[in-house]
Amino acid sequence: MLRIACLVVALLTATVTHADDLSARDGWMVVPTGKSHDQLVSDVKAAVKENGLIVVTQAGPTKAAAARGITIPGNRVIGVFNNDFAVRVLATSTAAMIEAPVRFYVTENADGTATLSYKTPSFVFAPYTEGGTELLAIAQELDSRFDAIAKAAASSQ
């Protein structure tokens, strides 16, 4: 019984600490970089500000896991939006505001580099058809800003 318990603990630890790096999927942009996790997080925040959006939320399990004695790769979700977009989205669809803030995802890769990922705003807001062409136009405007943010964050030194 002790052998089985040890095997289960070993398998769970391996699963939690060694997940695969992110890869492309429908509706996502995935931008591998040569930067460290901490540097990419910092560069994303700076690029968000430079592109007229605001960091509204941040969350990540890395530090809390470390406090529990568990080492996991760097992992941060950064929610961005601004009040102008919020008011405009609400004018088209109350339900669509559940998607705000729209998020960037910074993950540390096995080799110590970091990847920036995000669901495109057009993909995020696509289910809210009641918003019509106005919501589509807002989402496309956000797509442009998210693209600019990703390019700036991935390339800045």
Read off the pLDDT of each residue in 125-142 and give the average, rounded to a whole number. 98
| Residue 12 included in any domain | no
Read off the pLDDT of each residue in 128-147 and give the average, rounded to a whole number. 98
pLDDT single digits (tens) 73-99: 999 999 999 999 999 999 999 999 999
| Residue 6 included in any domain | no
pLDDT single digits (tens) 44-80: 999 999 999 999 999 999 999 999 999 999 999 999 9
| Residue 133 included in any domain | yes
Q: In what order do the strands lie in the sheet with 28-32?
A: 28-32, 114-119, 102-108, 75-81, 54-59
Interior/surface letters 81-117, b for 16+ CB within 10 angstroms, e for the rest? bbeebeebbeebbeebeebbbbbbbbbbbeeebbbbb
**CATH number assigned to the domain comprising residue 87:** 3.30.310.70
pLDDT single digits (tens) 33-45: 999 999 999 999 9
| Residue 15 included in any domain | no
Cis-peptide, bond into residue 101, ω within 30° of zero? yes
| Residue 37 included in any domain | yes
Domain count, the chain: 1
What's the pLDDT at 19? 58
Domain that holds residue 52: 22-155
What's the pLDDT at 7? 45
| Residue 100 included in any domain | yes
What's the pLDDT at 111? 95
| Residue 74 included in any domain | yes
| Residue 8 included in any domain | no
What's the pLDDT at 10? 47
